[in-house]
Amino acid sequence: MTGQATWRRLAEEDLAKAYLHIGSDSPKTAERLLDAVEHAVAVLLSRPRAGRAREFRSSRAHGLRSWVVSGFENYLIFYRPQQAGIEVVRFIHGARDIPSVLYDES
């Protein structure tokens, strides 16, 4: 299945923050992050169930899967397979409290 990746606002903000954080030390590495995320999303669009199925207590997290970004193994893409592609829900550093970040709708 190929399709389209729909990014939630919070996922876009997560990625922007990571880009700026990494870019403050190394602009080249920040650009590599964007390339790695683009590649990861392409893989997930071709194989939406490739990521690890995740279970959390909140019903808002129902159906979430996660995928490690190659070259940036501390970063996880949390997404849901959709009929026409994937929905990227969050982009989270693995050292964070993942359940509390996932439930944050601010």
Q: pLDDT tens for residues 22-41?
A: 999 999 999 999 999 999 99
> Which domains are assigned to the chain?
4-103 (3.30.2310.20)
Measuring CA to CA, how many Å separate 26 from each of 14, 39, 62, 89, 90? 18, 20, 36, 26, 23
Q: Does the structure show a pLDDT above 70 at 21?
A: yes
Mean pLDDT of 54-68: 77
How far does Cα 100 stand from its chain's mean position? 15
For 67-105, how does the pLDDT look when each residue is reduced to its tens digit (9 = 90+)? 999 999 999 999 999 989 999 999 999 878 777 776 665
Whole-prediction pTM = 0.87
- Round to whole Å and give the CA distance between 76 and 15: 10
Asked whether the beta carbons of 78 and 64 are under 8 A apart, the reply is yes
User: Per DSSP, what are the bridge partners of residue 67?
Assistant: 77
With a pLDDT cut of 70, the percent of the chain lying above it is: 88
